[in-house]
């Protein structure tokens, strides 16, 4: 696999994990009472994933100076 394909695969994996965390957070918060600490940890992980997604996306689409 070349570098672009590896980045695309990594991006897809990160996006899938981000989507899964979103679903897990929604499931946990729909049940009352829910573990606020666990939800906070999941949200923190989700935010870290978003940062990674942005970083990989920026590697795929280089800045073009106009």
Reported pTM: 0.84
Q: What is the pLDDT of residues 9-61, one digit of tens each?
A: 999 999 999 999 999 999 999 988 989 999 999 999 999 999 999 999 999 88
What's the start-to-end Cα distance of the chain, in Å? Answer: 31
Kindly state whether residue 65 falls inside one of the protein's structural domains: no
Q: Is residue 27 part of a domain?
A: yes
66 occurs within a structural domain: no
What would the two tokens of residue 56 be?
């990989």
How many domains does one find in the chain?
Answer: 1
Q: Which of 43, 9, 13, 12 is nearest to 25 (CA)?
A: 43
Domain interval for residue 22:
3-60
Contact 55, 10 (CB under 8 A): no
């Amino acid at each position: 696999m070349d570098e672009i394909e590896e980045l695309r695969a990594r991006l897809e994996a990160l996006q899938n994990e981000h989507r899964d965390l979103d679903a897990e957070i929604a499931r946990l918060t729909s049940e009352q009472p829910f573990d606020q600490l666990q939800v906070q940890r999941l949200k923190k992980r989700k935010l870290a994933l978003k940062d990674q997604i942005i970083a990989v996306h920026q590697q795929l689409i280089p800045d073009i100076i106009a």
